[in-house]
C-alpha cells in the first residue's frame, strides 16, 4: 500500500498556538509540504505533510505536544481544469468518506497531489488501487 504519514497535532484555540507549532518545524529545519487546519470552537487539529515526518514527530513529542501520525493516501492531480474534481469523483464513487485532506505541490511545481485521510485505510486502498491513479509514495518526498 502506498500510504504516506501525515502529522496531526491537537491544539487548543489559543493565540500563538499555531506559531509555537510551526516554530518547532522551522527550528529543526523541517520543510512543510502541505498543511490543513480544522477548528471546532474550542480546539482544532492541525495537519502537516513534512519531508522529515519521523523527526518532526519526535520533536513534537519531546516538547509536550499531543501529536499522532495518520497514514493517508495521496493521488496525483492532473494539471488541468477539473483535475481535483476527477479525483474527488473517483473517491466518492467508491463510497469512501474523506475525513480530512490537504494538497501537496511537489517541488518541481509540475505535480500536485490530493492527500486525504479516511476511516478505513485498507479498504480504501483495495477499492482505489486498480483505478489507474498515480499514488504518492513516501519515497517521493521523505528525506530521512
Partner 1 sequence: MEKRYFNPKIELLPREELGALQLKKLKKIINKVYKRVPHYRKKFEEAGVKPSHLKTLEDIRHFPFTTKEDLFVDYPFGLLAEPLEKVVRLHTSSGTTGKPKALFFSRKDVMAQAELIARSLVMSGATSGDILQNSMTYGLFTGALVMHYGAELLGMLVIPAGPGNTERQIELMRTFGTTCIHMTPSYALYVASLIQEKGLKPGKDLKLKRAYLGAEPYTEETRRKIEEMLKVDVFNCYGLSEMGGPGVGFECPVKEGLHLWEDAFLVEIVNPENGEPVKPGEVGELVLTSLNREAMPLIRYRTRDLTRFIPEPCSCGRTHVRIARILGRADDMFIVRGVNIFPQQIEGVLMGIKGVAQNYQIILEGYDEMTVKVEIDRDFFDGRIERLLKLKEEITEKLRQAIQVRPKVELVEPGTLPVSEGKAKRVIDKRTL
Judged by CB under 8 A, the residue of 24, 45, 121, 142 near partner 1 is: 45
Identify the three-state secondary structure at position 8: strand
- Is residue 85 within the footprint of partner 1 (CB under 8 A)? no
Distance CA 113, CA 108 (A): 13
* Choice from 4, 30, 47, 60 touching partner 1 (CB under 8 A): 47
Burial 10-32 (b: 16+ CB within 10 A, else e): ebeeeeebbeebeebbeeeebee
The SS3 call for residue 52 is coil
Among 18, 24, 32, 70, binds partner 1 (CB under 8 A): 70
Q: Which is nearer to partner 1, 39 or 134 (CB)?
A: 39
66 is a contact residue toward partner 1 (CB under 8 A): yes
Considering the complex, state which of residue 8 and residue 113 has its C-beta at the smaller distance from partner 1: 8
Amino acid at each position: 500500500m502506498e500510504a504516506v504519514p501525515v502529522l496531526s497535532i491537537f491544539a487548543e484555540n489559543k493565540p500563538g498556538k499555531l506559531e509555537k507549532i510551526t516554530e518547532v518545524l522551522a527550528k529543526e529545519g523541517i520543510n512543510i509540504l502541505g498543511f490543513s487546519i480544522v477548528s471546532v470552537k474550542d480546539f482544532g487539529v492541525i495537519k502537516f505533510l513534512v519531508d522529515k515526518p519521523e523527526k518532526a514527530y519526535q520533536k513534537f513529542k519531546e516538547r509536550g505536544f499531543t501529536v499522532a501520525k495518520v497514514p493517508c493516501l495521496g493521488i496525483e492531480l492532473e494539471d488541468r481544469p477539473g483535475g481535483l474534481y476527477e479525483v474527488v469523483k473517483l473517491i466518492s464513487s467508491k463510497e469512501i468518506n474523506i475525513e480530512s485532506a490537504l494538497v501537496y505541490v511537489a517541488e518541481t511545481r509540475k505535480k500536485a497531489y490530493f492527500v486525504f485521510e479516511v476511516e478505513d485505510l485498507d479498504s480504501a486502498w483495495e477499492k482505489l488501487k486498480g483505478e489507474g491513479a498515480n499514488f504518492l509514495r513516501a519515497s517521493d518526498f521523505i528525506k530521512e
